[in-house]
């Protein structure tokens, strides 16, 4: 909560009012309004770093998963007998279209799922403007 010029200077310039240069003081006085206001917390880079780490983690998981799926698919294709005379042909389990749709779905869903899992549960509300606070 910002209640005076010193708080506003700390919020806007990360310095106390006494430490500001004359140009910064002029800028602050042009925007300052009398009253108590709630400000949104200053944005930091931790959220962006977390997002990038999540994307990197999901890329590593995708690489490993796609490699394992390829090995399993090729091994099963070689080892399973092709028996077109039987209604339950084992090679029907290796339908390429079904596998492709499954892998594409996995690739689309994984980054968002990891982001949702690692993101903190509570996010502060971002307010674009000053919001007056009622004083008691």
Residue 84: band (very low, low, confident or very high) from pLDDT cuts 50, 70, 90: low
Residue 35: band (very low, low, confident or very high) from pLDDT cuts 50, 70, 90: low
Q: Say if residue 122's pLDDT is above 60.
A: no
Q: Residue 77 belongs to what domain range?
A: 46-118
For residues 58 and 109, state if they share a domain: yes
Structural domains of the chain, count: 2
Q: Say if residue 41's pLDDT is above 80.
A: no
Cα–Cα distance for residue pair 12/9, rounded to 1 Å: 5
For residues 25 and 74, state if they share a domain: no
Q: What is the mean pLDDT of the chain?
A: 76
For residues 50 and 12, state if they share a domain: no
pTM: 0.45
Residue 14, CA distances (Å) to 9, 24, 32, 103, 115 in order:
7, 11, 16, 48, 31
Query: Nearest to residue 13, comparing CAs of 129, 2, 38, 36?
Result: 2
For residues 50 and 38, state if they share a domain: no
Q: Say if residue 134's pLDDT is above 70.
A: no
């Amino acid at each position: 909560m910002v209640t005076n010029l010193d708080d506003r200077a700390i919020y806007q310039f990360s310095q106390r009012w006494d430490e500001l240069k004359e140009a910064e003081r002029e800028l602050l006085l042009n925007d300052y309004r009398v009253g108590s206001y709630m400000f949104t917390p200053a944005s930091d880079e931790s959220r962006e770093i977390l997002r990038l780490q999540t994307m990197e983690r999901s890329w590593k998981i995708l690489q490993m998963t796609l490699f394992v799926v390829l090995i399993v698919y090729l091994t099963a294709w070689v080892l399973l007998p092709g028996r077109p005379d039987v209604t339950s042909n084992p090679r029907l389990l290796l339908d390429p279209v079904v596998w492709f749709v499954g892998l594409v779905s996995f690739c689309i869903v994984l980054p968002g799922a990891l982001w949702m899992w690692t993101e903190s549960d509570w996010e502060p509300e971002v307010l674009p403007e000053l919001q007056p606070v009622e004083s008691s």
